[in-house]
């Protein structure tokens, strides 16, 4: 399977570096580049890639707004956006996760890390180490969400789905959820998928954000 990638970064040298790296990889291909958020959205709508590497800060509209527009387009449901940042804890990453980003990568990552990350996201799996995702979410929930918001959204979930969602927020894999709740990993995956559908979450990263925002999980728990 060849993974189709769009590169969105306002620095041509950054795009050139990523393209040179991906061009050397048989199963990864760059189908478009963009130097700003508006062109990034246009490129995604035109090429329908599997993965977008999206810089957070770009002229026109930034990477967060571009991600929001991509996530809001039902025709692009299968597109996964990965934010590129210079800092591990970036003030904008939490907003990007809220609007549908599958995760984030540091620009100074090793080449093999980049290749693995792209393949992982394209396969629909969780990109980030759960602990890293959780630390980012906790930090910005602590700063921006003093009280639970939209807790009534959880009314649509079964008790088991709430349990599973809480464990996802704690960084558990499907296999670990299965062990914790005495079920198979496949059953755990099914509960995760149902919770995502009911809450309109694109992926596990958004599910983690929602778990904190709705008060299902509190900062500092587990």
Choose between 137 and 28: higher pLDDT.
Answer: 28
Confidence label for 3 from pLDDT (cuts 50, 70 and 90): very high
d(CA 85, CA 109): 10
Contact by Cβ (8 Å): 115, 136: no
Across the range 57-68, mean pLDDT stands at 91
What's the mean per-residue pLDDT of the chain? 85
Q: Model confidence over 173-185: pLDDT tens digits?
A: 889 999 999 999 9
Across the range 202-221, mean pLDDT stands at 78
The pLDDT value recorded for residue 90 is 58
The pLDDT value recorded for residue 148 is 53
Asked whether the predicted pLDDT for residue 195 surpasses 60, the reply is: yes
Domains, the chain, ordered by start: 3-127 (3.40.50.2300), 139-213 (1.10.10.10)
d(CA 118, CA 53): 9
Predicted TM-score (pTM) of the model is 0.73
Contact by Cβ (8 Å): 150, 213: yes
């Amino acid at each position: 399977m060849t993974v189709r990638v769009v590169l969105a970064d306002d620095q041509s040298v950054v795009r050139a570096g990523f393209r040179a790296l991906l061009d050397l990889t048989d199963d990864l291909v760059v189908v478009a580049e963009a130097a700003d958020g508006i062109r990034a959205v246009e490129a995604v709508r035109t090429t329908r890639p599997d993965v977008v590497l999206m810089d957070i800060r770009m002229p026109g509209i930034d990477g967060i707004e571009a991600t929001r527009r991509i996530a809001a387009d039902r025709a692009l449901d299968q597109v996964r956006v990965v934010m590129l940042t210079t800092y591990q804890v970036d003030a904008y990453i939490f907003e990007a996760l809220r609007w549908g980003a599958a995760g984030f990568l540091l620009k100074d990552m090793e080449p093999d890390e980049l290749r693995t990350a792209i393949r992982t996201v394209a396969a629909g799996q969780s990109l980030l180490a759960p602990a890293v995702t959780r630390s980012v979410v906790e930090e910005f929930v602590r700063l921006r969400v003093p009280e639970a918001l939209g807790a009534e959204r959880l009314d649509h979930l079964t008790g088991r789905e709430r349990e599973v969602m809480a464990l996802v927020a704690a960084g558990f894999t499907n296999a670990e959820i299965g062990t914790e709740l005495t079920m198979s990993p496949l059953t755990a995956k099914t509960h995760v998928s149902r919770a995502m559908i009911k809450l309109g979450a694109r992926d596990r990263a958004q599910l983690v954000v929602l778990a904190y925002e709705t008060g299902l999980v509190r900062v500092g728990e587990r």
